[in-house]
Structure 1
Amino acid sequence: MYTHLEDYIYELYTSIGIEIPVNLDKQIIAKKLGVEIIYEEDKLFRFDNEISLIRSDVRQEWMDFGHEIGHYLRHCGCQLNMHRLFIDLQEWQANNFAYHFCVPTFMLDKLYNYTIYDIMQLFNVDYDFAYKRLEMYTNKFYSGGSMKWTYQLN
């Protein structure tokens, strides 16, 4: 059983023809959603249909895109005039959105016997992001607390 956010992301991706990890490309997704990606020196933000990213490695840009597209799709208004607590809520929501957007549950469900390194490669995310996402995923199935992932670095 999926959460509302997982259902939303599944519907979003399938509506634009994204069904496997290899199709998770920020440029293609942005174009299909009518979003323009621009690059700034030092700020991430969303304004109207523009998402600003900081030039970085491909993984960081993908994770940042997931966060900013979360703002684009789920939030409205300008944070400059918001109460700090509401800004914090929106940032938490965008972070949570990014985990599910960058590593969708419906794609994870199709995998078998995978590691954090497999998730890093398949979904183009960094170690900490993959670790956290797998922890979120497994916690859905095990209500007895956090799963501890241990892997040796190669």
Structure 2
Amino acid sequence: MNALIESFYLDVKIQRLEHWKKRSVTDIIYDISKQTGIKVYFFDYQSELNNLGGEWRIFLNQKQNKAKIWQDFGRQFGVYISYQLLIKGNRTDEMKDFFYHFCVPTFLLNELMVMPSFKNKEKEKEWLIGEIARVFHVEYQFAKTRLGLYLQSF
């Protein structure tokens, strides 16, 4: 799953944390949607994924804050990717946490975690969670869950 996610980011020229920090969430959403051919629309209702007439679309609730929009995009995009894998006969078991890994990509989180400011704060979990939320434009609870998934991998 991590290799798949990393490939999406590499395709939109996000290879390092410095590239991530230069882009807005909206720009990343549009770039990924353009690269994958899935259309994205912002509207005033609950976020959803649909397939009408064979064309996939993600509708994102624009009344939410940027963190929630980004998380919703990750969730809907994960459902889309799971469906694509399923119809190709691939297993989708590992996809249940896709949106956590997509919104806070492991390869970028690895880079963040070795920065001097992070190494010095290893024991201050609340600070780490707050920084992950800030850097990756996600909500605090989302960042907390993602950090837990990240630490479980070691």
TM-score, normalised by the number of residues in structure 1: 0.70
User: Residue 107 of structure 1 aligns to a residue in which SS?
Assistant: helix
Q: CA RMSD in A?
A: 2.6
Identity among equivalent positions (%) equals 30
**1:72 maps to 2:80:** yes
Structure (1/2) with the larger helix percentage: 2
**1:108 maps to 2:121:** no
Q: Aligned-pair distance for 1:43?
A: 4.6
Instruction: Give the partner amino acid of 1:69.
Output: F
Which residue is 2:56 aligned to?
A: 49
Which residue is 2:133 aligned to?
A: 120
User: Residue 75 of structure 1 aligns to a residue in which SS?
Assistant: helix
31-40 or 64-73, larger mean C-alpha shift: 31-40
TM-score, normalised by the number of residues in structure 2: 0.70
Distance in 2 (CA, whole Å) between partners of 1:126 and 1:18 is 21
121-130 or 51-60, larger mean C-alpha shift: 51-60
**1:137 maps to 2:144:** no
**1:32 maps to 2:35:** yes
Q: Aligned pair in 2 of structure 1 residues 117, 12: CA closer, same or farther (>3 Å)?
A: same
Q: Aligned-pair distance for 1:40?
A: 4.9
Q: Aligned-pair distance for 1:10?
A: 1.2
Distance in 1 (CA, whole Å) between partners of 2:135 and 2:32 is 17
Instruction: Give the partner amino acid of 2:74.
Output: G
Distance in 2 (CA, whole Å) between partners of 1:46 and 1:105 is 28
For structure 1, the 5+ residue unaligned runs are: 77-89, 142-154
